[in-house]
Structure 1
Amino acid sequence: MRSFLPRLLILLAVIGLIAAPVFFTVEADMRRADSTLAAGRPLEAAAALEHAATLLFWRADLMERAGRAALAGGDLAAATRLLGQADHLSVDGWSDLGAATYQLGQFDESARALQRGLDTYGGANASLYRGLALARNAQGDFEGETEAMRRYVALDGTQAAARHRLGLLLSVFDPDHALPELMASAKLDEAYDPAAQSMRSALNLASLESDEASRLVVIGRGLGLVREWALAREAFQRAASADAENAEAWAWLGEANQHLGQDGSGELRRAEALDPFSANVRALSGLYWKRRNDPQKALAQFQWAAAIQPKNPAFQAALGEAYAFAGDLPPALAAYQRAAELAPADATYWRTLALFSGQYSFQVEEVGIPAAQQVLELRPDEAASFDLLGWTYLAANVTGLAEENLLAALRLDPDYAPAHLHLGITYLQMNKLESARAHLLQAQALDPEGAEGRAAAQLLALYFP
């Protein structure tokens, strides 16, 4: 026993001598990680922490810290590798692993990581549910997204975007509970109010329908109106599944598929076969052919739609557009006029009539200007009304009245880019070049990525190189 003790002490001393450099190395790694993180160099910190984790293999937290540092430095592959190697992850670690795999486009792995985090730590973490909702959305699993978003909002109901998204999802999967979320989002952020009001109208109209397929078609149309075409497609697919004989469900499914980069013609053909006398089906088929730059086929479909519902101003206006697209202006004018006559109190159809006349310089004095005056009478407090009248006067080369109305538009809304563009063009015609340049520059500044901004930039390059 006495002879064993000295040997044990010697062995421990030897182990200490061997381990000491390791511990010194780890201590240096940790200092380097702390300093490089403080200096804003997270990738260097990640390398140091990974080295330390390899030496101190029982320290599970070091590999997680390395992975999180790699994510902070933008090295997604390293973050995924390091976090995936960790024996144990914190809530934040699971959240970061889900984020890294999501950003790499590995949506299934992202969903699995986030779900494991929830399974490990319970369902009371808002960030994990938010990440899971994003992953489910990327997977195309809208039902899974709905459930995750519900849990997220239950934990954090202060985010307008989340409340709005949940309202849109519930419009498809639980319409009776959609409206409170949509209205809550609009209350939190008024930017969501227009879409919320559109969806409220759609939900109210859907509630009047007697069958599930028709309700889903109305809801899907509302979602399309607010440019949520992926969710709209989900609604139309469910409508077609609920009633395979519903022609409009198939036609709108074709429309949604086109907005999502697919062809859509197969669904439209099926819709026409199911109900060739549906005006909506014919109109959607007309849109299909218009997008494919086939004016005659588009015109034939819109003629069908207008013939089936001759007193519907929307189909008359669409017919006018189809005739114009085909280059046949007299019947286009007649169709636009018919639309305005069918809805004389609706400024929309007077506006389309005035725009057609001015755009094609076709009977501007006889039709375009009176139509624009009618718009102004119906909506006298809108800058767009004065702008339209000024633009039609400009199309008729009545520059004095054009200037007068365009200035009136800018008094109502000094930041209305179309009025600045049209006033700039007016001043070009009047040879007031400095004023023209000022308004064109203003139009370009107000709408740099839009149609008015691009048109102003072209004119500036042409007249003021």
Structure 2
Amino acid sequence: MINAYQSSVAGDQLNASNELAAVFAYYPWRVDLNIEAARYAYQAGDPKAAIQYLETPGTIAYLTSEDLILFGDMYNQSGDFSKAEAIWKDVTKLGDSNQVFRRLVDLYLQQNDFDSAVIYLQKMLTLTPSDSHLYYKIGLLYAGIDPLKALPFLAQAAEIDPSNTVESRDLHDKIRTANLFDQPAYTLLASGRQLASMGEWVLAAEAFRRASALDPEYAEAWAFLGEAQQQIAKKDIGSIPDVGLTELEMALELDANSILGNTFMGLYWERQGDYSQAQHYVEQAITLNSSDPYLYSELGNILSKAGDLPAAQAAYEAAIHLSPQDPLFYRLLAEFAMENQIQIRELALPAIRQAIILSPQDSSSLDVMAQIMLMLQDYHSAERYSLDALDSNPAFPLAYLHLGTAYLYLGESNLALKWLTVAKQVEPDSWIAAQATRMIDYYFP
């Protein structure tokens, strides 16, 4: 016992566990020692050993609700999710507990079992009926599986917490408007599209999957499902494997003239690095809808990656011609010239100036101007535009990176280090943070 205590104080939880288990072997009626040994083993990162202790005959009968919750945690960490689920569900029979409900919700979300997750979220809501986050989360889940059921939860989330108002009401209104057509598959598609615009790609994919199941000949549902699977794969593993192609092929098989199907197929091949195929499908989409500036900008992006810079420039300029009051397309043209290091003063500079004229507070355009100023070696202007970008959006890590870079060239070492450090901290796992770290290591060894 003393050895176990000393090991615990020293932070050696595994040895503490072993010591208690050894004592329990001599005093088998001291079940409390066996339970404590299991806790220490779990804390030491050995859930399988912890499980073995608790499954010793006669031990389980002495477990409290808290012990049983931990027992489920052990199985969950060891990868036996079905056993964890069974234990936690047994605990719910002893009384309502948000601790258990939360674990079940997390487990079901991990398995994309949204129908089960929403049940336990609603059980949590009965215990904390003023929790706006729960209303919002339930609304999101229902938006992906049964959109009409989402409406009251989204409305309540917006009413309780103003920070949820915009996204809750936008999703609510999209679902309500789509429902006017009395076509459940279309309502699911509209809800999924709004979820996708919010970055909720997993739920969006579920909505698209259910839409295509309700109406197997719904080409747009298949197209969006293929794109959603690409987005999920990109987020999960950082690369784009061969997922979503079957769904995209189904979309085009159902409707070869689907603008969305051709567009998403073009995006698919672009991500695979097959720019010839990508160009073919995006050009087909343009043939079907020649007034969409976004299609021309995407064509410009593909042609730029393929190395056909004159054709890429023409595509970006076509997008501007179609939408001359939209600053986005001027910025994309400027970024194209900047990324390819062509006509910085002649093409990129006037394009980004026009973008800023159209939208003076747009942080992305201001930051692109800062980058161009760096390339033109006008470091004071780069500093000014970076500060303007941050004034517009204080959480913009790229602007911190360029501000730090400007101060490096201006010889302001302390300021450079300060803002490069901030760039590293705003989004710690991003490429921007990695670049800031490299610059700090190089310039401030």
> What's the TM-score once normalised by structure 1's chain length?
0.78
Question: Residue in 1 aligned with 2:359?
Answer: 379
SS at match of 1:381: coil
Question: Residue in 2 aligned with 1:91?
Answer: 65
Matches within 5 A, 1:219-238: 219-238=191-210
Match of 1:435 among 412, 416, 437: 412
Question: Residue in 2 aligned with 1:263?
Answer: 243
- Measured in 2, the distance between the counterparts of 1:294 and 1:209 equals 39
Structure 1 residues 319 and 95: CA distance shift in structure 2, 3 A:
same
Deviations 1:155-202 (A, max 9, x none): 235666655433321112332343554576678888877765664565
- Measured in 1, the distance between the counterparts of 2:16 and 2:108 equals 32
Question: Residue in 2 aligned with 1:75?
Answer: 46
Match of 1:143 among 111, 115, 118: 115
Question: Residue in 2 aligned with 1:353?
Answer: 333
Question: Residue in 1 aligned with 2:223?
Answer: 251
Structure 1 residues 219 and 67: CA distance shift in structure 2, 3 A:
same
Structure 2: segments with no counterpart, 5+ residues: 234-240
Most deviating of 33-42 and 300-309: 33-42
Question: Residue in 2 aligned with 1:291?
Answer: 271
Q: Alpha-carbon deviation of 1:127?
A: 1.1
Question: Residue in 1 aligned with 2:212?
Answer: 240
- Measured in 1, the distance between the counterparts of 2:380 and 2:173 equals 43
* Identical residues among aligned pairs (%): 31
- Measured in 1, the distance between the counterparts of 2:144 and 2:393 equals 38
Match of 1:105 among 79, 83, 99: 79
Structure 1: segments with no counterpart, 5+ residues: 1-28
Is the CA contact (8 Å cut-off) linking 2:146 and 2:188 kept in structure 1? Answer: no
- Measured in 1, the distance between the counterparts of 2:26 and 2:382 equals 79
SS at match of 1:330: helix
Amino acid at match of 1:103: Q
Most deviating of 351-360 and 413-422: 413-422
Structure 1 residues 169 and 419: CA distance shift in structure 2, 3 A:
closer
- Measured in 2, the distance between the counterparts of 1:147 and 1:411 equals 43
Structure 1 residues 73 and 263: CA distance shift in structure 2, 3 A:
same
- Measured in 1, the distance between the counterparts of 2:205 and 2:26 equals 53
Is the CA contact (8 Å cut-off) linking 2:101 and 2:124 kept in structure 1? Answer: yes
Q: What is the Cα-based RMSD across aligned positions, in Å?
A: 3.6
SS at match of 1:231: helix
Deviations 1:310-353 (A, max 9, x none): 11222222122122122222232222223233333333223222
Structure 1 residues 414 and 176: CA distance shift in structure 2, 3 A:
closer
Amino acid at match of 1:67: A
Most deviating of 336-345 and 314-323: 336-345
- Measured in 2, the distance between the counterparts of 1:84 and 1:224 equals 45
Question: Residue in 2 aligned with 1:12?
Answer: none
Aligned length in residues: 431
Is the CA contact (8 Å cut-off) linking 2:400 and 2:423 kept in structure 1? Answer: no
Is the CA contact (8 Å cut-off) linking 1:423 and 1:439 kept in structure 2? Answer: yes
Question: Residue in 2 aligned with 1:118?
Answer: 92
Question: Residue in 2 aligned with 1:275?
Answer: 255
> What's the TM-score once normalised by structure 2's chain length?
0.81
Q: Alpha-carbon deviation of 1:272?
A: 0.8
User: Is 1:215 aligned with 2:175?
Assistant: no
Q: Alpha-carbon deviation of 1:423?
A: 4.9
Structure 1 residues 72 and 444: CA distance shift in structure 2, 3 A:
closer
Whichever of the two has the greater Rg, that structure is 1
Amino acid at match of 1:118: T
Structure 1 residues 60 and 152: CA distance shift in structure 2, 3 A:
farther
Is the CA contact (8 Å cut-off) linking 1:83 and 1:93 kept in structure 2? Answer: no
SS at match of 1:68: helix
Is the CA contact (8 Å cut-off) linking 2:147 and 2:188 kept in structure 1? Answer: no
Is the CA contact (8 Å cut-off) linking 1:441 and 1:456 kept in structure 2? Answer: no
- Measured in 2, the distance between the counterparts of 1:400 and 1:58 equals 78
Match of 2:305 among 325, 348, 362: 325
Q: Alpha-carbon deviation of 1:244?
A: 0.5
Amino acid at match of 1:95: I
